Amino acid sequence: WDVSNTGKCMRTYLGHEKGVRDICFTNDGRKFVSTGYDRNIKLWDTETGQVIRTLSSGKMLGYCVKFHPDEDKQNLVLCGCSDKKIYQFDTETGDIVQEYNEHLGAVNSITFVDENRRFVSSSDDKSLRVWDFGIPVQIKYIADPSMHSMPSVAAHPDGSYIVGQSLDNTIVIYSTKEKFKMNRKRTFRGHNNAGYACQVNFSPDGRFVISGDGEGRCFFWDWKTSRVFRKMKCHTGVCMGAEWHPLETSKVATCGWDGLIKYWD
């Protein structure tokens, strides 16, 4: 879509036979990788709309895909799958170059931390696991009887914390230092997300946490105080995604189960 001027749809990419689960762009935006319920993982050329390569056809149901954020590793893709594994692909050859296999449930999210040397994965097994990139042995296993599944995780812009959308109507904070400790004093509450994988996000300056909820509202919390700063009624169904404009700091896009994408100031 053209965001700044007309709001018109610029191009539609056809190639998946069933619903698309997740996409991730390269840093320069020229390519992106997508995963869908037809068990295909495809690499696309953004400009021409052509499929450059199908990384996996019919084998694995990918729930999340992530390019490595470093400029010299833009050919490496991580894909968390329903078969409890995380696969690492090389997009230049199409091969699986590494498998991370420790989770006991489907993998929901992958978040890079620690200057992109490590990543955190969340899963239906209600745990978080921390990995050194390229080494298939977990270095930290975070699980607790009180923990809930976290379908969406986001990293703070300064890299020192991650937040997870916990399915007991809270957003929890973990430090990304060596111990990955949970901050029990600070939790973000007020929204109603139980049963929905609503996306959690930060404003680019790190001052606000943003999330949709099951009643179509969008919540903004103050990062320092953890209080609700503002809530807006955005959609008639569930408000699934909320994303901050990276440059215009007052603008936010939301999407919902009513089939609409809305752009707010």
| Interval 201-253: pLDDT, tens | 888 888 888 888 888 888 888 888 888 888 888 888 888 888 888 777 788 88
Query: Could you tell me the pLDDT band of residue 59, with boundaries at 50, 70 and 90?
Result: confident
Residue 44 backbone dihedrals phi, psi, to 5 degrees: -120, 155
Q: For position 92, what pLDDT does the model report?
A: 84
- For the stretch 200-211, pLDDT in tens is 888 888 888 888
Burial readout 88-109 (b: 16 or more C-beta within 10 A, e: otherwise)? bbebeeeebebebebbeebbbb
86 CB burial (10 A radius; 0-12, 13-18, 19+):
buried
Q: For position 73, what pLDDT does the model report?
A: 82
Distance between CA atoms of 170 and 32, rounded to whole angstroms? 31
pTM: 0.79
Residues 88-94 have a mean pLDDT of 84
DSSP string, 96-125: EEEEE---SS-EEEEEEETTTTEEEEEETT
User: Who contacts 174 (Cβ-Cβ below 8 Å, separation ≥6)?
Assistant: 120, 128, 142, 161, 162, 163, 164, 180, 181, 182, 183
Distance between CA atoms of 213 and 160, rounded to whole angstroms? 26
pLDDT at 2 over 80: no
Residue 153 backbone dihedrals phi, psi, to 5 degrees: -130, 140
Q: For position 200, what pLDDT does the model report?
A: 87
- For the stretch 5-50, pLDDT in tens is 777 877 888 878 888 888 888 888 888 888 888 888 888 888 888 8
